Structure 1
Amino acid sequence: MSSSHLLNHQIVSVRPISVPSPGRGIDLQVRVTAPRSGQNLPVIVFSHGNAWSLDGYEPLVGRWSAAGFIVVQPTHLDSRRNAIAWDDPRFATIWRVRITDLHAVLDHLDDVLAQAGLEARADRERIAVVGHSWGAQTAGALLGARVLDAEGVAGEDFSHSAVSAGALIGATGTGDTLTPFAVENLPFMKPDFSTMTAPALVIAGGKDDSQLSTRGPEWFTDAYHLSPAPKSLLSLTEAEHTMGGIAGEKVAETTDEDPARVALTADAISAYLRAALNLDAAEWAALNSTAEGRGDTWSLVSK
Structure 2
Amino acid sequence: MIRFPVLRRLALSLVAALVLAPAAPALAWPQAVPASAAPASAPAHIELSAPDGRAIDVSVWRAADERGVVVFSHGYNGSPAAYGRILSEWVDAGFTVVAPLHVDSLRHPRHAEFDGPAAFTTRIVDLAVVRGFVKAEHAGKPIVAAGHSFGSLMSTIAGGARTVAGPQGDPAVRAVVALSSAGDLQGVILPDSYAGLTVPTLMITGDDDLVPQYVTDWRAHRSAFDRSPAGGKMLLVFEGGDHSLIRNADEADFDLIARASTAFMEAHALGDPEALATLEALAAPDGVTIERR
TM-score category (smaller protein): 0.7 to 0.9
Partner of 2:62: 34
- TM-score w.r.t. the length of structure 2 is 0.77
Taking only the aligned residue pairs, the percentage that are identical comes to: 27
Alpha carbons of structure 1 residues 214 and 75: separation in structure 2 relative to 1, 3 Å = closer
Out of 243, 246, 252, the position equivalent to 2:245 is: 243
Residues 164-203 of structure 1 show CA distances to partners (whole Å, capped at 9, x for unaligned) of 111111123334xx6xxxxxxxx43557112211211111
1:273 and 1:235, CA in 2 relative to 1: closer, same or farther beyond 3 A? same
Q: In 2, distance between residues paired with 1:201 and 1:218?
A: 15
Contact 1:291–1:298, Cα closer than 8 Å, also in 2: no
Structure 2 match to 1:17:
46
Alignment match, 2:9 = none
Q: Distance in 2 between matches of 1:24 and 1:188?
A: 26
Change beyond 3 A, Cα 1:208–1:202: same
- 2:100 and 2:249 map into 1 onto residues whose CA distance is 25
Q: Which of 138, 146, 150 lines up with 1:130 in the alignment?
A: 146
Structure 2 distance, partners of 1:197, 1:244, is: 25
C-alpha separation in 2, matches of 1:24 and 1:92: 19
Structure 1 alignment gaps of length 5 or more: 1-9, 114-121, 149-154, 179-186, 246-255
CA contact (8 A) 2:68 2:142 kept: yes
- Check if 1:266 corresponds to 2:258: yes
Which protein is richer in helix relative to its size? Answer: 2
Deviation of 1:240 after TM superposition, in Å, equals: 0.6
CA distances 1:26-68 after superposition (whole Å, capped 9, x unpaired)? x1011111232x25x1111000001122322101110001011
Return 5+ residue gaps in structure 2 as ranges: 1-38
| 1:53-96 deviation digits (Å, cap 9, x = unpaired) | 232210111000101111111101111123635xx653222111
- The alignment status of 1:94 with 2:123, answered yes or no, reads no
The alignment partner of 1:124 has SS state of coil
Partner AA of 1:300 in structure 2: I
What is the SS of the residue equivalent to 2:111?
A: coil
Aligned equivalents of 1:95 and 1:13: distance in 2? 28
Does 2:291 align with 1:289? no
1:49 equivalent in structure 2: 75
Which of 83, 90, 95 lines up with 1:64 in the alignment? 90
In the alignment, what sits opposite 2:271? 279
After superposition, residues 136-215 of structure 1 pair within 5 angstroms as 136-148=152-164, 155-175=165-185, 187-188=187-188, 192-213=193-214, 215=216
